[in-house]
Amino acid sequence: MKFVIQNSIKNKLMLGFLIVVALTGVSSIFAGYRIINRGIIEQAYESVRSDLKTAQYIYNNRLFQIEMTLNYIGTLDYMSRAVEARSLSFLQAKFIRLKDWIGADIIIITDSKGKVMLRVNNTGFYGDSALDIQCIRQVVETLKPSYGSGILTRDILAKEGEDIVDKALVKVIPTEMGRHITKDHEDRALVLNAATPMFSDGKMVGIVYGAFIVNNNFEIVDRIKNLVFHSDDVTDYSAGKATIFLDDIRVSTNVVRSDGHRSVGTQVSSKVYESVFDRGEDWVDRAFVVSRWFLAAYTPIYDTNNSIIGILYVGVPQERFDKIKNNTIKYFLFISLITAVCAAVIALYLINRIVKPINEVVYASDVIAGGNYSKKLRVFRESELSHLSEAFNRMIDAIFDRDMRIKETAHNQVAQSEKLASLGRLAAGIAHEINNPLTGVLTYSSMLKDDLAGTEYVDDLNVIIDETLRCRKIVKEVLDFARETRLEKEHADINKVLNGTLAILEKHVNLRKVKLTKIFAENIPGILVDVNQMKQVINNLALNAADAMPDGGELIIETSFIEEENSVLISFKDTGAGISAENLSRIFDPFFTTKEPGKGTGLGLAVIYGIIERHNGRITVHSIQNSGTEFIIKLPVG
């Protein structure tokens, strides 16, 4: 029998442990996989977003170089005088060096009306209007520098020469998942351009315009690849890529096709195009780029009129993060397996060490359960189990002594519990039932006071009335604070609610010495409130103000509408004693009061605070001791 029990306990412990290990292991693996997968993906997308911001900086920095250089040229007096004097040979010599220095493709000088004076690329073609170039037109209209991304049409490029036209020409390659387009070439140019006015004696005498053609120019995208992804090899498929789109056509990219050539002329997917162009949103997600999956980020490129004309893209091959994720999961699984095996070995050893003493405890317990209190445990060698045997033996000695006492006291405890339960039910109902007799006492005391007016009993009756009112107030505040009533909201004019409530309060004995001033704004919109609860707020605040002015004073109640916040303000400002600084932070705490004992329960402001909070409003207090107190309620409209 003992051997069977021992093996039964051992098997149960081992089975239970294995189940716990298995469940813990499976849940840990599942949770770990989800956490690792989500963490790596989130980190990957965050990394791509960061890369996109860096790419935007590099793109804008290239534009900044052109813009700052031209702005500097515009501040040089001798250049302005040369433009005013139309010293074309001088200007040609200066600007051709400037063109090479800043890496610009186009430089044009016009007069103050936008009429071309000099094209650095094509000096023989001038006298035409350059107002079809957006930057130049904006300078003419505003007399201020203009810079940003833009599009130059083929007609504008042709005036610069056929080599400029050829430089911008991109063959369109229809792409799977791209939108359908009919043209087979893109002959417009996406440019980074800037124009700055030149002044002489305070008068604009000309405009200098410069443009950097992005089409078929890989300076920016390769700089992004080098600085962001630390790779100079275009054919490095494991490194990140960058692309600049004109509309949905790649005009500059280091994304390569399977043949190793740059994918200039291919299209962005229609899904990305709709998100970026139609909705003007950044797009960060998995994307199939030309021939493989990338974790990609796209952002709109705007022209100087804030219209979307292109897209800037960065992306990292998904397989890079998949490899990191798979390696991490394999390592996690390996650690989990090793941990489970070690735990099983340790558990088996510990189970063997404790099964035998536990079996003895079980056997002794069965004997004691049969009523034989003479069975004792031997002293075990293990310290913890030794303490257990000693405690078990002491328990056996004490069980018999306590057994009878427990039986004797059980009946008394049950009876006491029933009494306490009845008392609890009585306490729960007494608050509701006490209001009726209080109302009777108050009514008959008031009638008796009227009948005995002028007699010596009036003062005693006043005491009865005051104490009855105080009891009813305490019961009401306890009930109001203890329960959270459901709001019965309706659209209401807060000015009318205030007027109706104050019309009753003006006759209250506590307000007879108080001058009541109402300053209600006329433009107050209707608000959604529980009218009854708002009347309770108004009543409590007005009576609190009256209590603070026992010798009289003024209570100013003001309403206003804050249009910017779409909120209504209600202010209660008195000229009473004020609240001390140390008490100001505690006035909304339940059961906190500065009134004399018997004058208040400390629940009124706590109830008010709860009502305003449930209306999604806010109540604040400002007070200066001996100068007065102001409570301000802010309630949202609608």
Domain coordinates in residue numbering, the chain = 28-344, 485-636
HSE-CB at 114 with a 13 A cutoff on CA atoms is: 16
Q: Per residue in 504-535, pLDDT tens? A: 777 776 777 888 889 998 888 989 988 888 88
The CA distances from residue 457 to 461, 469, 535, in Å, are: 6, 18, 35
* DSSP conformation class of 159: T
Residue 415 pLDDT greater than 50, yes or no: no
Q: Which is it for strands 292-302 and 567-574: parallel, antiparallel or unpaired?
A: unpaired
- Say yes or no: domain 485-636 is CATH 3.40.50.2000: no
Q: Can you give the pLDDT at residue 362?
A: 67
Q: Can you give the pLDDT at residue 419?
A: 39
Q: How confident is the model at residue 542 (pLDDT cuts 50, 70, 90)?
A: confident
Degrees (nearest 5) of the Cα angle 447, 451, 455? 125
Q: How confident is the model at residue 432 (pLDDT cuts 50, 70, 90)?
A: low
Residue 40 pLDDT greater than 70, yes or no: no
Residue 402 pLDDT greater than 90, yes or no: no
Q: Can you give the pLDDT at residue 204?
A: 94
Sign of the alpha-carbon dihedral angle for 565, 567, 568, 570: negative
Q: Can you give the pLDDT at residue 181?
A: 83
Q: How confident is the model at residue 482 (pLDDT cuts 50, 70, 90)?
A: low
Contacts 24+ apart (CB under 8 A), 583-592: 584/621, 584/623, 587/621, 588/619, 590/481
Residue 135 pLDDT greater than 90, yes or no: yes
Of 320 and 337, the one with more pLDDT: 337
Question: Rounded to 10 degrees, what is the CA torsion of 588, 590, 591, 594?
Answer: -10
Q: Can you give the pLDDT at residue 439?
A: 73
**Percent of the chain at pLDDT above 70?**
73
- 308-317 β-sheet, strand order: 249-253, 241-246, 308-317, 292-302, 283-289
What phi, psi does 312 have (nearest 5°)? -110, 130
Q: Identify which of 143-157, 246-260, 435-449, 583-597 has the greatest average pLDDT.
A: 143-157
Name the architecture of domain 28-344: 2-Layer Sandwich (3.30)
Q: Can you give the pLDDT at residue 592?
A: 64
Q: Can you give the pLDDT at residue 595?
A: 65
Q: Per residue in 183-241, pLDDT tens? A: 899 999 999 999 999 999 889 999 999 999 999 999 999 999 888 887 766 566 667 88
